[in-house]
Amino acid sequence: MRIQALVLSNFRNFREITIKCSEKFTVITGPNGSGKTSVLEAIYYLSRGRSLRTHVSQQMLRHDSQTLCVHACLEDAAGRLTEVGIQRDQSGAVSVRQDGQDCASCSVITEILPILLLDTDSHRVFASGPKHRRAFIDWGGFYHFGDFAKIWRDYKRTLAQRNTALKTGQNTLEHWDTLLIQFGLKLNTARQQYLKDFAIFFEKFWSELGKGLPAVHLHYDPGWPATKSLAEALSLNRCGDEQAGFTRYGPHRADVCCLVEGRSVFDVMSQGQQKLMAYALSLAQGAVLAKHRNKRSVYLIDDLPAELDSVRRSGVMSALVQTGMQVFVTSIQTESIISELKDSSSYQIIDLSDMYSG
């Protein structure tokens, strides 16, 4: 899916702005505070129903305004157009629409508009804990398997019920274990399959972007000891779970470790190299989705030049160009980006200088 045009109303510093987007690169420039990140945030909000930088969605509403709206005209690979929009008022009420019809939730837009975000913190977020790495695998699982979101919901609901039974000493653990194993194994199989498909692309992108750097091996930890089945892990640890009051093993504890010669990349690689790895991971996610589901992702890249030397930056740009996917990239100075885009029809510059208010 591609975004043809975007309209932001009462979003952050924008009262109203219409952005005609390039099919390929839309380069958003302007001084600090002109709203570059806010444009990416608006696209992210449209797809995911939440902000990329705050838990308080209300902060996106322009001060002294009643309702924010992000509206987009999307075009699929066959040239079919669809209009989508998300609106949020002062009270926090959200409405999502597609082609004039109300939608039950924003997952309708999430489904058709896959977004991959890379900002100056992406690699640190990935390094900061298994929760974020699970979210990364599950983003892939969500698009890779039609029933992934449902399996996850079933698993989470059962997990909550098992935890309640553990806390209250209810005699229902056998029942919840049976269900938890059923949903947990499905979830685990889906994640493993996704990672298997993903690893092929990751290796390819890493060998291109990280030329000269050691190979990175992805190791999947399902969330329970590899020598045991999930059923064994639950039953052997039941007493400990009862004492703890929650379930300590299962897919909710899964992780994917990135290893260089058996050591975590976060211990051995520089920030710049980790950043490069974040690009390789993200490029691989987009490529798996394109290959296996014929879906095109939209890349949001906040401040591309940060922390990458010119050779690496050039490698990233050329990999992005080759994907043929739509990219929104922000930068204070556009030269380093444009110099990589030989053909002037492949990009559009949006200069927000006039938006600068302070």
Ligand X SMILES: Nc1ncnc2c1ncn2[C@@H]1O[C@H](COP(=O)(O)OP(=O)(O)O)[C@@H](O)[C@H]1O
Which residues sit at the interface with Mg ion, rule CB under 5 A?
Answer: 36-37
Which residue is listed with tokens 């309702």?
Answer: 67
CB 29 → Mg ion: shortest distance, Å?
A: 11
- Contact status: 318 vs ligand X (CB under 6 A): no
- Contact status: 33 vs ligand X (CB under 6 A): yes
Burial class (CB in 10 A: 0-12, 13-18, 19+), 203: middle
Identified binder of ligand X from the candidate list 24, 27, 35, 278, rule CB under 6 A: 35
Cβ-contact 194, 137 below 8 angstroms: yes
Distance of CA 134 to the CA centre of its chain: 11
CB 46 → Mg ion: shortest distance, Å?
A: 18
The interface region with ligand X, picked from 25-33, 140-148, 166-174, 189-197 by CB under 6 A, is 25-33
- Residues in 244-303 that interact with ligand X by CB under 6 A: none
* Residue whose CB is less far from ligand X, 66 or 189: 66
End-to-end CA distance of the chain: 35
Where do runs of H (alpha helix) occur along the chain? Answer: 36-48, 107-112, 122-127, 130-144, 148-168, 173-209, 230-236, 238-244, 265-268, 271-293, 310-323, 335-338
- Contact status: 62 vs ligand X (CB under 6 A): yes
CB 164 → ligand X: shortest distance, Å?
A: 39
Cα–Cα distance, 49 to 96 (Å, whole number):
9
Q: Find which of Mg ion, ligand X, none residue 34 binds, CB within 5 to 8 Å per kind.
A: ligand X
Count of positions (residues) in the chain: 358
- When CB distances to Mg ion are compared, the closest residue is 37
* Residue whose CB is less far from Mg ion, 50 or 228: 50
Cα–Cα distance, 301 to 305 (Å, whole number):
10
Burial class (CB in 10 A: 0-12, 13-18, 19+), 36: buried
* Residue whose CB is less far from ligand X, 38 or 47: 38
The interface region with ligand X, picked from 27-35, 77-85, 107-115, 200-208 by CB under 6 A, is 27-35
Six-digit token string for 79: 């040239």
* Residue whose CB is less far from ligand X, 68 or 137: 68
Cα–Cα distance, 34 to 105 (Å, whole number):
31
* Residue whose CB is less far from ligand X, 16 or 232: 16
Six-digit token string for 180: 């938890």
CB 119 → ligand X: shortest distance, Å?
A: 10
Nearest to 121 by CA among 307, 326, 315: 307
Cβ-contact 223, 255 below 8 angstroms: yes
* Residue whose CB is less far from ligand X, 62 or 134: 62
- Contact status: 344 vs ligand X (CB under 6 A): no
- Contact status: 26 vs ligand X (CB under 6 A): no
* Residue whose CB is less far from Mg ion, 268 or 332: 332
CB 355 → ligand X: shortest distance, Å?
A: 8
Can you state the angle between helices 173-209 and 148-168, rounded to 10 degrees? 130
CB 66 → ligand X: shortest distance, Å?
A: 13
Which residue is listed with tokens 């030049």?
Answer: 305
* 255-260 vs 115-118, strand pairing mode: unpaired
- Contact status: 88 vs ligand X (CB under 6 A): no
- Contact status: 331 vs ligand X (CB under 6 A): no
- Contact status: 237 vs ligand X (CB under 6 A): no
- Contact status: 30 vs ligand X (CB under 6 A): yes
CB 315 → ligand X: shortest distance, Å?
A: 25
- Contact status: 38 vs ligand X (CB under 6 A): yes
Task: Decide: helix, strand or coil at residue 220.
Answer: strand
The interface region with ligand X, picked from 59-67, 108-116, 119-127, 129-137 by CB under 6 A, is 59-67
Q: Which amino acid is at 252?
A: H
Chain positions contacting ligand X, by CB under 6 A: 12-13, 30, 32-38, 59, 61-63, 357-358
